[in-house]
Structure 1
Amino acid sequence: MRLTRLSLRNYRVYEEQLDLELPAGLVGIYGPNGAGKSCLIESVRFCLWGKSRTGNTDVRTTGVGADCVVEVEFEHEGHLYAVRRMLTGINATPKAAALADGKQVAEGPRDVGRYVQSILGMDDAAFRASVFAEQKQLAAFSVQTPERRRELVLRLLGITPLDKARDEARRDARAAAEQHDQLRGLLPDREALTEDRAAAER
């Protein structure tokens, strides 16, 4: 995944329209405290997953009732994706849409989140613990349980499908063994058959 464009309007400290074209390679963001550096990073997570460190009513610029709009464009595995998330109206009603190579593929906050998860292969928790780390939240990965950390690492490395295949193979083997034992139990005793045959021949 490589971010190519970020657009904000009425998002936290960014009341006016902000459009950023992100070049390939390492990108640094610098500025004084309170300038909105963290907000830029947070906006990516908000756009992709609809998640925020505060409620939706606090995401919009303070005192402004206009729509909050965040758009993220990114490249992933040879395709160009665009996600747009909005908070509209007095109640900050969430709306969202996702496009792949210029065609709309998902609409609605939940469906867009599910679609993003399907193409990136990670949910918000995995994204936050690996790709994205909020300021003062670099310990997000370490505070997870050992089993959860293992799950995140396997998912990030793309090993999860192999892990599932291994577990399924083990389940199939156990089921086959149980079926074998059941069928064997239905067969008559070999020694008893031999004795019956001998008795019949006498």
Structure 2
Amino acid sequence: RSGWLEARIHLTDLRDLTTAVGRLRRLLDLDADPYAVDERLGADPLLGPLVAARPGLRAPGTADPEEYALRVHTGPAQARRLVAAYGEPVDRPCGALTRLFPAPAALVDDPVAGPLATALAEGTVRLDSGAGREEAERALLTVPGVTARTAALIRMRGLGDPDVAPHGEPDDAAWRPWRSYAVRHLRTVSMAV
């Protein structure tokens, strides 16, 4: 472990640098306070050894909350189909990136993504940086096909909520206000098995 991550950002306009850095910070959870998280979760009998093994573990976010919402709602195969059918070609392809994920407005007529895309495009569901987390989750749950688990995952990663335990994941009130990090620790162990 080197303790740092190299990022190469290809910009068409230098004015986009601040936005790109902000998206990277959200994606990598760089504004978290890992000491506060570790102090609380490290005292838990179940999580203590996991925290000791991986101090400072972050809860990843997403660079684009609306894209993430549509991807997690539709699943990987449908997300690939959406990019192939509706994605705009990248002006200057970079590696494997040749098409952009479509904006919600481009997906309103899609039979799978349509209801959520419509809610996002019309603003019925807001996932921007000013969106209230509880309000966004309530709005998501009114969209046909969006499950409680999907809404919680969107709240966790799309809105960067540090205190979410999606349906079906272990949950303990003692982990508050860092349940998202507890879930990440437990998932890291299950992935290693």
Bucket of the pairwise TM-score, normalised by the shorter protein: under 0.3
Please, what TM-score do these two structures have when normalized by structure 2? 0.24
**Structure holding more helix per residue:** 2
Query: How high is the TM-score relative to the length of structure 1?
Result: 0.24
Q: Which has the higher strand share?
A: 1
